[in-house]
Chain A
Amino acid sequence: GAVVSQHPSRVICKSGTSVKIECRSLDFQATTMFWYRQFPKKSLMLMATSNEGSKATYEQGVEKDKFLINHASLTLSTLTVTSAHPEDSSFYICSARALNSYEQYFGPGTRLTVT
């Protein structure tokens, strides 16, 4: 089956620094990737949708200058949390979808802790 990986699985960073999270589709070409944020005991909140080679589409209320998304290839998308603050601590999950497919495949998630 389709496999999506995320790296790192856990990251701790200091307040004010930036951290990059990678999402890779390992065995298929992902024309679309999605980034979600999950708060403790809550559902997933879609942050943005990225299509390979074009700018990401951000959901209402998500700061595009703070959460930079790049989808430069068909197998890699990155989320960079800039100038991180403790309130950015969360579980970030990506998903990927192939061309002409309706199914999303989810990565295992990245736990970000900002101290």
Chain B
Amino acid sequence: GNSVTQMEGPVTLSEEAFLTINCTYTATGYPSLFWYVQYPGEGLQLLLKATKADDKGSNKGFEATYRKETTSFHLEKGSVQVSDSAVYFCALNFGNEKLTFGTGTRLTIIP
């Protein structure tokens, strides 16, 4: 079946540091890939997505590129802020099927 493997957290960085959160997937075919963010006490918000190979999703300074060769969709940001502290989930699906989530990575940014 489909699965998503995420970098285990928690991840703690200083403000303005470079962020990478690794995500790889296993699926038959080419799924759509997503990053969701969950702020404390809230539900999930879509951060960015990519629907085909080599697509780059970007939002709020975050980027992720769909790499079919390495079946990866790593999340990056050049300079993190305290307000980026949250839990980040990588996910995939096919068309209108259910989302398969990774286990989530808790990110804490310290001033």
Contact residues in B for A105 (Cβ distance below 8 Å): 46
Query: What is the 8 Å Cβ interface bit string for chain A, positions 66-100, against chain B (1 contact, 0 not)?
Result: 00000000000000000000000000010101000
**Closest residue on chain A to residue B51 by CB atoms:** A102
Bound Cα distance from A104 to B92, whole angstroms = 12
Bound Cα distance from A42 to B93, whole angstroms = 19
B106:A41 contact, CB within 8 angstroms: yes
A106:B106 contact, CB within 8 angstroms: no
Shortest C-beta distance, B21 to chain A (Å), equals 14
B45:A106 contact, CB within 8 angstroms: yes
A43:B98 contact, CB within 8 angstroms: no
Q: Which of A32, A93, A97 is B44 in contact with, Cβ under 8 Å? A: A93
Q: Which of B44, B95, B96 is A106 in contact with, Cβ under 8 Å? A: B44
Shortest C-beta distance, A72 to chain B (Å), equals 21
Contact residues in A for B41 (Cβ distance below 8 Å): 109, 111
Bound Cα distance from A106 to B106, whole angstroms = 19
B43:A49 contact, CB within 8 angstroms: no
Bound Cα distance from A43 to B6, whole angstroms = 11
B43:A106 contact, CB within 8 angstroms: yes
Interface residues of B (CB under 8 A from A): 32, 36, 41-46, 89, 93, 95-96, 98-99, 101-104, 106
Interface residues of A (CB under 8 A from B): 4, 6, 32, 34, 41-44, 46, 49, 93, 95, 97, 101-109, 111
